[in-house]
Amino acid sequence: MIERLYIKNYLIIKEAEIELDRGLNILTGETGAGKSIILDALALILGERADYSKIKKDEDRLIVEGHFNFAENKTVQKVINDIFPDEESGNDNIILRRELNKKGSSRNFINDSPVNISDMKKFGDAIIDIHSQNEHQSLLNKETHIGILDNFSLKSEIIRKYLKSFTELKHLVNKYKELEAKKDELIKKRNFLDFELKEINNVNVTSGEDTELENELKRLENTEVISESTVNAIKLLYEDDANAGGLIKSAVKELSKITEYDQELKKIISDLENANILVKESSDFLISYLDKLNFDADRTEKVRNRLSDIVHLKKKYGLTLDELILKAENLQKEFNFADNFDFEIEKLLKEIETLRKEVFKIGNDISYLRKKGAVELAKNINKILNEVGLEGAEFKVNIEKIIGEKDDLLSSGSDKEFVRLSQNGFESVEFQIKINKGSDFTPLQKSASGGEISRIMLAIKTVLSEKDNIGILVFDEIDAGISGRIAQKTGKVLKALAASHQIICITHLPQIAAMSDRHFHVSKKEDKVRNETVASIKTLNEKEKITEVAKLLSGENITEASSKSAIELIKA
């Protein structure tokens, strides 16, 4: 439940703190006093889009903070664990905080830890349902009906299973359509693919071959220079009279005469002897290298021609050697595909057929559960409709198959009937009602008035609340278009719903306000010093509640009769 809501610098609310109760929390007040602002502020910490124009005039920062308690609510704990996987679970107290800065920045916190707005929305979706006049209008939209029915009838696992398979099927169907569209292009392209593939394969390059050939060609073309320098190096190292090896030996001989005077010279002698070994090994290598070195005109020509072919290919395609090898592999795949197009199409159609059967099987399971749920939903809603004064009304859920076509890959059936798959299965859903006995069932938008739509919405939410784990329900003027006896019946339904849920409700009706477990009055006044309008929120005691309900009955001039009626309503 929400235990406390703190609001600062939100439009005409300078600073307000609301201590909420379990059960039915009622907000009343004159139009424009700021009742809906409170619900907007609540929506803000539940992940709604930030509107920086809501920051109070002449203030830099807007703050909304909500304190929640979710003792033993596993759904909420799971969401918190998803958001903070590294933290220990088990904390029943959650604080949501959001700050908007006039510069256009926003900061979001859950239990003082910074979070993304998507995390706040994820949390908000798990804990609260907010129902407003706009949602009443959405009930008239047929497209929303299937979602409402499925929330009542289906478990999330079967929906996820269907969507996963349907998405895969759509992907295969789209792939098939793309291939069909490319058929002529692929056939034309086949000859070109064949030409490019043969051109690259004829050269038959290997990775790193161009670098190896360039190095070899340099050696072959410069054999004479290499030979001359190698001979000179051998002489200098070990063959000339004053060769490096001989000079090092002489140096060792001279130093050996004086080591008895300085022991540190032994290390130098050791280093020189090692150096002499390296000189000898280098000389031996060069002698061997020189023996193998010879100019081969035929080999030189072959290397030049091979290198020329590779360079030509690299320039033509603008690719490195490794990229050319990869291109050849891709060309081979494309060529194979073009060469076996009909086989690939046939293979894809078989995959589509197999998966389509699987999707239809899951769709049939959904259809069975949906039809079973539709009967139960209608039965339960009709019971509530009777309780809110729509005694002669009857609600039903109309389910129809989506008509498909023979050549449509998302359709299946016989010549008599083809049914088409969609994101929601192969059915459409529409809520229908007959307001009076003896009349025909018609869509909601053709039959129901504003007040009737409000009560139908309340009935749906009451029934759905028994199926979900959302413990907080918010109603923004769900009493629109009703009064008198009907309002009192609606209030009793809200009161009954508040036995298992925390409810926050804005109302103008005394019959509903009288049912409150905690009553808040929202008012506004002019601050002449600051030349501004400021809203305030007050928690009413029992006496103040009677006065407020009496005002809702008779206006500002409270009479003895209105006070008496208010007491009767509260005690009813």
The answer to whether the beta carbons of residues 303 and 213 sit under 8 Å apart is yes
pLDDT exceeds cutoff 90 at 86:
no
Which residues face 27 on adjacent strands?
506, 520
pLDDT exceeds cutoff 90 at 472:
no
pLDDT exceeds cutoff 70 at 80:
yes
- Name the amino acid, one letter, at 141: N
Alpha carbons within 13 angstroms on the beta-carbon side of residue 28 total: 27
The answer to whether the beta carbons of residues 455 and 492 sit under 8 Å apart is no
Q: What is the pLDDT of residue 354?
A: 95
Q: What is the mean pLDDT of residues 565-572?
A: 88
Residue 141, Cβ density class (10 Å: 0-12 exposed, 13-18 middle, ≥19 buried): exposed
pLDDT exceeds cutoff 90 at 372:
yes
Angle between helices 244-256 and 265-292 (to 10 degrees): 160
Q: What is the mean pLDDT of residues 176-194?
A: 79
At 510-538, the pLDDT tens digits run 999 999 999 999 998 887 777 888 888 99
Q: What is the mean pLDDT of residues 349-374?
A: 95
At 432-446, the pLDDT tens digits run 989 888 888 988 878
**C-alpha span between 23 and 390 (Å, rounded):** 25
Q: What is the pLDDT of residue 183?
A: 75
pLDDT exceeds cutoff 70 at 135:
no
Alpha carbons within 13 angstroms on the beta-carbon side of residue 221 total: 10
Q: Give the pair of three-digit tokens for residue 295.
A: 């100019």
**C-alpha span between 289 and 284 (Å, rounded):** 9
**C-alpha span between 375 and 391 (Å, rounded):** 19
DSSP alpha helices (H): ranges in 318-340?
321-339
At 545-555, the pLDDT tens digits run 999 999 998 88
At 221-245, the pLDDT tens digits run 888 888 888 888 988 888 787 788 8
Using pLDDT thresholds of 50, 70 and 90, give the confidence band for residue 453.
confident
Q: What is the mean pLDDT of residues 35-58?
A: 89
- Name the amino acid, one letter, at 451: G
Using pLDDT thresholds of 50, 70 and 90, give the confidence band for residue 468.
low
pLDDT exceeds cutoff 80 at 477:
no
Dihedral pair phi/psi, residue 112, rounded to 5°: 70, 5
Lowest mean pLDDT across 124-128, 143-147, 541-545 = 124-128
pLDDT exceeds cutoff 90 at 421:
yes
- Which are the contacts of 521, defined by CB distance < 8 A and separation ≥ 6? 27, 28, 29, 537, 538, 540, 544, 548
At 320-342, the pLDDT tens digits run 888 888 988 888 887 777 777 77
pLDDT exceeds cutoff 70 at 558:
yes
Which three-class secondary structure state does DSSP give residue 532? strand
pLDDT exceeds cutoff 60 at 158:
yes
Q: What is the mean pLDDT of residues 92-97?
A: 88
To the nearest whole percent, how much of the chain has pLDDT over 90? 33
**C-alpha span between 6 and 453 (Å, rounded):** 33
> Of 389, 404, 468, 485, nearest to 435 (Cα)?
389
Q: What is the pLDDT of residue 201?
A: 86
Q: What is the pLDDT of residue 254?
A: 87
Q: What is the pLDDT of residue 138?
A: 67
Mean pLDDT of the chain: 86
Q: What is the pLDDT of residue 221?
A: 80
**C-alpha span between 184 and 186 (Å, rounded):** 5
Pairwise pLDDT comparison (185 vs 118), residue with the higher score: 118
Q: What is the mean pLDDT of residues 118-130?
A: 84
Dihedral pair phi/psi, residue 261, rounded to 5°: -90, -25
Q: What is the pLDDT of residue 200?
A: 85
The answer to whether the beta carbons of residues 246 and 236 sit under 8 Å apart is no
> What does the CA dihedral 72, 75, 80, 86 come to, rounded to 10 degrees?
90
To the nearest whole percent, how much of the chain has pLDDT over 70? 96
Q: What is the pLDDT of residue 217?
A: 83
The answer to whether the beta carbons of residues 116 and 132 sit under 8 Å apart is no
Q: Give the pair of three-digit tokens for residue 88.
A: 């220990």
Q: What is the pLDDT of residue 572?
A: 76
* Best mean pLDDT range from 9-18, 185-194, 203-212, 388-397: 9-18
Using pLDDT thresholds of 50, 70 and 90, give the confidence band for residue 84.
confident
